[in-house]
Amino acid sequence: NRGFATILGSVLTLVGTFVVMWRMSPLLALLSLGVVPLLMMAILRYAGRIRRETAALQAQESDVLARASEGLSSIRVVHAFGRESHEVDLFRREARESLEANLRLSMTNVASTLVVGTLLALGTAALLWVGAGEVMAGRMTLGDLLVFLAYLGMLYSPLEQLSYTAWSMEGAAAAAQRVFEVLDTPDDVPDPQSPARLPAGPGAIEFQGVGFQYARGDEVLQGLTFRIQPGESVAVVGGTGAGKTTLLSLLPRFYDPSTGQISIHGIDLRNLAKQDLRSRQALVLQETILLSGTVQENIAYGRLGASFREIEIAAQEAQAHEFILALPNGYQTQVGERGVMLSGGQRQRIGIARAFLRDAPILLLDEPTSALDATTERELLDVLGKLMSRPTTLLVTHRLHAAHRADRILVLEKGRLVEEGKGEELLRRKGAYWRLWQATNG
Ligand SMILES: Nc1ncnc2c1ncn2[C@@H]1O[C@H](COP(=O)(O)OP(=O)(O)OP(=O)(O)O)[C@@H](O)[C@H]1O
Ligand SMILES: [Mg+2]
């Protein structure tokens, strides 16, 4: 903004001054403009450099921040493996490159100022040379020449202003460009132009020939076709890397299938607004993420505006109530980075309470009991068993006795559905599920 005002002011001064000079001596006036083409060349040349170097500096500075934040967030691993000096070296290298980028930009600034100054000084010298000749030839008085020189100063200083402003705007434009690059990162799963509305109540979930691959890589899911009835509880089992988490993350549309389609209530998920779709789902992630704040706030994250009583009930169902009461400030205890560090199993139960509180028609659970001891797990599964008869539940688990309670089990192997049915039935079949059962219980 200031930039544009400066440019406008400079241009007006330039034109006015030039008119006055022209009336005093057309020859000298034209001569004084002789430096302008050179000045233009310098502006363009340095503008490109300043833009490139500013962009490089921005990129390098985000690398420094990324390095620092990564090193700090994995500080335990760094200590445990004695890699402190290695991390410091990496950081130092990034910081040095940032320093160099800074110096390069500063040098360019200095050089450009120098070039402009020199050009203008040369222009003044040339004018003085010719003007002195004019005075000696008697075509001009000395007084006129002095006045003319004063005007020359008024002509050159806006030119100088203009070049600096042009460069600082280049720098600002380069910085802004980076901001827009980040803002313009395309959304992988765009909302439809005119989204359909999800009807109320639980609907059937249907997978039809669903295949999926991450941005680069092999097919992680292939040809999945199955249907989950409203209110049904389905367990997904299979070896590590079989694609269970991937399958679950297709339902809130963290990703869209590469082939085939998924529908709820008979509506293709791609025709639904993500917000609408996700408001019908409660998700427990394989790794529970706690936000800094109190335990109560962390559970209430599932449904803002829930009453304290509702939060307590959800915590009880998630087998979390007792350990929460044992914390220094109970439900008001601060957790996360700046508070009490909770154990993996405690975090997991807060994640489950959060999902229970949400009370959504579709419940998605990814390994909800992996960090719990056998007793706590059994208690939680009992609650889940009661709960599973209400919302439509998709439970991913390695624990086969947890899967066994579900209405139906889907067995995934390398992204393919190899078996499906009730637990007992699958055991009798002596197929993939039976082999998993043997491996864990044998
Ligand atoms: N974000 C990602 N980008 C690329 N590939 C991924 C990504 N997440 C998972 N994969 C790959 O997809 C495959 C399936 O991963 P997925 O996390 O779905 O397995 P899983 O069945 O949940 O395993 P686990 O039981 O260990 O949790 C793996 O080969 C994995 O390497
Ligand atoms: Mg997983």
- pLDDT tens for 1-40 read 567 787 788 788 888 888 988 988 888 888 888 888 998 8
- Ligand that comes closest to the CA of residue 410: 1
Q: Is residue 192 part of a domain?
A: no
Average pLDDT over residues 76-86: 90
Average pLDDT over residues 103-112: 92
Residues above pLDDT 70, as percent of the chain: 98
386 with 319, same domain: the answer is: yes
Atom of ligand 1 nearest to the CA of 286: 27
Q: pLDDT value at position 2? A: 66
CA distance 267 to 429: 35
**Ligand 1 and 411: CB distance under 6 A:** no
Q: What angle do CA 225, 198, 230 make, to 5 degrees?
A: 50
170 with 308, same domain: the answer is: no
Q: Is residue 345 part of a domain?
A: yes
- Ligand that comes closest to the CA of residue 215: 1
Q: Whose CA is nearest to atom 9 of ligand 1?
A: 246
* 340 pLDDT higher than 80: no
C-alpha 162: how far from chain center:
38
Q: pLDDT value at position 159? A: 81
**Ligand 1 and 246: CB distance under 6 A:** yes
Amino acid identity of 190?
Answer: P
The residue with greater pLDDT, 211 or 203, is 211
81 with 168, same domain: the answer is: yes
Evaluate whether 42 touches 119 at the Cβ level (below 8 Å).
yes
Please give the helix or strand (H or E) that residue 144 lies within, else none. helix 142-183
Own/partner pairs, 95-103, CB within 8 angstroms, 24+ separation:
95/64, 97/60, 97/63, 98/57, 98/60, 98/61, 98/63, 98/64, 101/53, 101/56, 101/57, 101/60, 101/61, 102/57
Evaluate whether 174 touches 54 at the Cβ level (below 8 Å).
yes
**Which DSSP category does 195 fall into?**
P
Q: Whose CA is nearest to atom 4 of ligand 1?
A: 214
159 with 236, same domain: the answer is: no
221 with 299, same domain: the answer is: yes
* 70 pLDDT higher than 70: yes
Structure tokens that stand for 278 in this block: 């996700």
Best residue among 189, 210, 214, 247 to mutate for probing ligand 1, ranked by most atoms within 8 Å of CB: 214
Residue with tokens 């460009």: 177
Q: pLDDT value at position 269? A: 94
> Which of 68-72, 365-369, 385-389, 436-440 has the lowest average pLDDT?
385-389
Q: pLDDT value at position 388? A: 63
CA distance 333 to 330: 6
C-alpha 18: how far from chain center:
52
Choose one of 132, 148, 183: the last residue of a domain.
183
The CATH number of the domain holding residue 60 is 1.20.1560.10
The CATH number of the domain holding residue 252 is 3.40.50.300
Evaluate whether 31 touches 126 at the Cβ level (below 8 Å).
yes
Q: What is the pLDDT of residues 291-338, one digit of tens each?
A: 889 999 999 998 988 999 999 999 999 999 999 999 999 999 999 776
Structure tokens that stand for 294 in this block: 């109190």
Q: pLDDT value at position 217? A: 83
Phi-psi region of 78 (alpha: psi -120 to 50; beta: other; left: phi over 0): alpha
Q: Is residue 321 part of a domain?
A: yes
Atom of ligand 1 nearest to the CA of 242: 21
CA distance 299 to 279: 16
Please report which confidence band the pLDDT of residue 276 belongs to, taking 50, 70 and 90 as the band edges: very high
CA nearest neighbour of 277 among 292, 260, 256: 256
CA distance 315 to 294: 14
Q: Which residue range forms the structural domain that includes residue 421? A: 205-441
Q: pLDDT value at position 402? A: 85
Q: Whose CA is nearest to atom 30 of ligand 1?
A: 241
CA distance 99 to 105: 10
230 with 114, same domain: the answer is: no
CA nearest neighbour of 409 among 255, 278, 234: 234
Mean pLDDT over the full length of the chain: 89
240 with 178, same domain: the answer is: no
Q: Is residue 190 part of a domain?
A: no
CA distance 25 to 106: 40
Cα 232 to middle of ligand 2, angstroms: 21
- Sequence-distant (6+) residues with CB within 8 A of 175 are 54, 58
Q: Is residue 193 part of a domain?
A: no
* 380 pLDDT higher than 90: no
Q: Is residue 25 part of a domain?
A: yes
283 with 316, same domain: the answer is: yes
CA distance 442 to 440: 6
3-class SS at 186? coil
Cα 276 to middle of ligand 1, angstroms: 26
294 with 339, same domain: the answer is: yes
**Ligand 1 and 249: CB distance under 6 A:** no
Residues above pLDDT 90, as percent of the chain: 50
**Ligand 1 and 410: CB distance under 6 A:** no
Atom of ligand 1 nearest to the CA of 249: 18
Q: Is residue 200 part of a domain?
A: no
C-alpha 138: how far from chain center:
73
Q: What's the number of domains the chain is made of?
A: 2
Choose one of 183, 214, 249: the last residue of a domain.
183
Structure tokens that stand for 390 in this block: 């209400």
Cα 411 to middle of ligand 1, angstroms: 16
Q: What is the pLDDT of residues 119-144, one digit of tens each?
A: 999 999 999 999 999 999 998 899 98
* 442 pLDDT higher than 60: no
314 with 353, same domain: the answer is: yes
Q: Whose CA is nearest to atom 18 of ligand 1?
A: 243
Q: Is residue 36 part of a domain?
A: yes
Cα 272 to middle of ligand 1, angstroms: 25
334 with 278, same domain: the answer is: yes
151 with 232, same domain: the answer is: no
Average pLDDT over residues 195-213: 91
Question: What distance, in Å, lies between the first and last C-alpha atoms of the chain?
Answer: 74
The HSE-up count of residue 76 (CA atoms within 13 Å, CB side) is 0
**Ligand 1 and 240: CB distance under 6 A:** yes
Q: Whose CA is nearest to atom 24 of ligand 1?
A: 240
Average pLDDT over residues 228-233: 92
Cα 366 to middle of ligand 2, angstroms: 7
